[in-house]
A and B are shown apart, each in its own frame.
Chain A
């Protein structure tokens, strides 16, 4: 099918984009890479009457180190981030997650911010963001606010973004030297939507473990039982119990890809493997 008719605006700077968004309100949709929005428009599941194309807003793209933080512009292409030395060194979990996002060609067009704002429950980038305690910057015509990733994802394809706001960047704490990461995903085919995905990062320097589980629920989840209860030296005897406690508290999704009970069993295996990978 073909998309329904719409009006297209192609602003060159952020101020113009924000003014257009304020003017058109909920009638308008922002388009960046279009790798999720355009399929929905082609299927007429989305029929915005106004599109505001952010591809011409150069200020929204780019990756930079800011002290202990890494700032990634929302319109940075996924493949650009994946190939970036700074991301590989200081956000290795994000790099590991990006390898599972779509395919080479869709990553060349798809953006970091677009994927976060789309908030698919199976999004690898959303999972990496909550696991890394990232935050996003949301900007409207008059001000900017910072929202923790764990408070940004509200429900399936629903976020804390207001209709007049643009997600402008994602901010991540830079990984310490010696950090080990693991990203595990189960999908029917490489590049397909995950049935479950797990992410873990362990930094031996401060013995801090961060763990997240995605695609299993409407939003990606931080695994606090495991993070707080883990002892690296007692891992063999305690991990299975921690994983079981974690999984028991999750209201698992059931859809055409997998039932809730299958997701819960697969989630436990995936999570345990992932944590072991990151620690050992």
Chain B
């Protein structure tokens, strides 16, 4: 099936099998390996990207479903090689250890920022992060960064 979309602002056209997951298209075909694959069942949140302004699990979408869509991955955050405010806050608060879950968390937060849905309290930040698994248990730094970056 023919797939035409934009990924991080660049037009993309490909002929892909319907069963190809969007995350595998991004990693294997486009070689954008910043998006990570954890559970392949929508639980861990590592593969979260932004499709038409909404955060989505790219392991639960088929590439062909992104036809006509505007797709953004973690590579889009550091425009011109300058880290975003959120990325700088994550770095300053040591909000990551191994970094495997980080791209999914950054993209979820980026979507919330754009949708004016930023967590308004530490409680809301914790509730939000329950959708992204971090096995290094590095949540406290993330909470600090989220609260500091305020709504």
Please list the residues of chain A having a beta carbon within 8 angstroms of any beta carbon in chain B: 1-8, 10, 34-35, 38-39, 42-43, 51, 53, 55, 77, 79, 102-106, 108-109, 189-191
A190 to B127, CA, bound (A): 7
List the B residue with the shortest CB-CB distance to A191: B130
Chain A residue numbers with a CB within 8 Å of B112 are 104
Interchain CB contact (< 8 A) of A191 among B18, B59, B131: B131
A106 with B131: CB separation less than 8 A: yes
Q: Can you pick out 22 interface pairs between chain A and chain B where the beta carbons lie within 8 Å of each other?
A: A1-B40, A6-B19, A7-B18, A8-B1, A8-B18, A10-B67, A35-B42, A38-B60, A42-B40, A42-B41, A51-B62, A102-B131, A103-B131, A104-B112, A105-B45, A105-B108, A105-B111, A106-B57, A108-B56, A108-B111, A109-B56, A190-B130
Nearest-neighbour CB distance to chain A for B106, whole angstroms, equals: 12
Chain A residue numbers with a CB within 8 Å of B57 are 35, 105-106, 109
Interchain CB contact (< 8 A) of B54 among A3, A10, A108: A108
Interchain CB contact (< 8 A) of B17 among A5, A43, A108: A5
Does B55 lie at the interface of the complex (its beta carbon under 8 Å from any beta carbon of A)? Answer: yes
Please list the residues of chain B having a beta carbon within 8 angstroms of any beta carbon in chain A: 1, 17-19, 21, 24, 40-43, 45, 48, 54-57, 59-62, 64-65, 67, 108, 111-112, 117, 127-128, 130-132
A102 to B132, CA, bound (A): 11
List the A residue with the shortest CB-CB distance to B24: A2
Chain A residue numbers with a CB within 8 Å of B48 are 105
A239 to B64, CA, bound (A): 53
Nearest-neighbour CB distance to chain B for A96, whole angstroms, equals: 14
Interchain CB contact (< 8 A) of A109 among B18, B21, B61, B130: B61
A8 with B131: CB separation less than 8 A: no
List the B residue with the shortest CB-CB distance to A103: B131
Nearest-neighbour CB distance to chain A for B62, whole angstroms, equals: 7
Nearest-neighbour CB distance to chain A for B118, whole angstroms, equals: 11
B131 with A34: CB separation less than 8 A: no
Chain A residue numbers with a CB within 8 Å of B56 are 105, 108-109
Interchain CB contact (< 8 A) of A39 among B60, B65, B130: B60
A4 with B19: CB separation less than 8 A: yes
Nearest-neighbour CB distance to chain B for A95, whole angstroms, equals: 15
A108 to B42, CA, bound (A): 13
**A38-B59, A105-B56, A108-B55 known; 5 other A-B pairs, CB under 8 Å?**
A10-B65, A38-B62, A42-B59, A104-B131, A109-B61
Nearest-neighbour CB distance to chain A for B37, whole angstroms, equals: 11
